[in-house]
Structure 1
Amino acid sequence: MEVVSVEPGKVKVQFKVEEEHLNGHGTLHGGYTSFLTDLISTLALMTTGNGNPGVSTDLSVAYMRSAKLNEIITIDADTLKTGKLLTFSTVDFRNEAGKLIAQGKHTKFVGGGASS
Structure 2
Amino acid sequence: MSDGIDDKSKSDTIDGLNYAKEVVAQRVNLPHRFENIFKDIEIISGGNGNIVCRYTIPKNLSNTHGSLHGGIIASLVDAVSTWGLSTATKHHRHISVDLSVSYMRKAELGETITIEGKTVKLGGRVAFLTATLLDKNQKIIATGKHTKLILENKL
Give yes or no for TM over 0.5: yes
Q: Determine which of 27, 40, 56 is the counterpart of 1:16.
A: 56
Structure 1's unaligned 5+ residue stretches are none
Q: Say if 2:106 is the partner of 1:66.
A: yes
Poorly superposed stretches of 4+, deviation over 6 Å: none
Q: 1:84 to 1:57 in 2, by over 3 A?
A: same
Q: Determine which of 106, 130, 144 is the counterpart of 1:90.
A: 130
CA distance in 2, matches of 1:96, 1:53: 33
Structure 1 segment 1-116 matched on structure 2, within 5 A: 1-112=41-152
Aligned residues: CA RMSD: 1.2
**Bigger relative contact order, structure 1 or 2 (CA pairs below 8 A, ≥6 apart):** 1
Query: Is the contact between residue 45 and residue 53 of structure 1 (CA under 8 Å) also seen in structure 2?
Result: no
Residue 49 (structure 1) shift? 3.4
How many correspondences in the alignment?
113
Q: 1:49 to 1:109 in 2, by over 3 A?
A: closer
SS at match of 2:92: coil
Q: TM-score, normalised by structure 2?
A: 0.70
Q: Deviations over 1:49-98 (max 9, x none)?
A: 34223110000110000011111110000001111111000000000000
Q: Percent identity?
A: 38
Write the letter of the residue equivalent to 1:80. V
Structure 2's unaligned 5+ residue stretches are 1-40
Structure with greater helix percent: 2
CA distance in 2, matches of 1:26, 1:109: 35
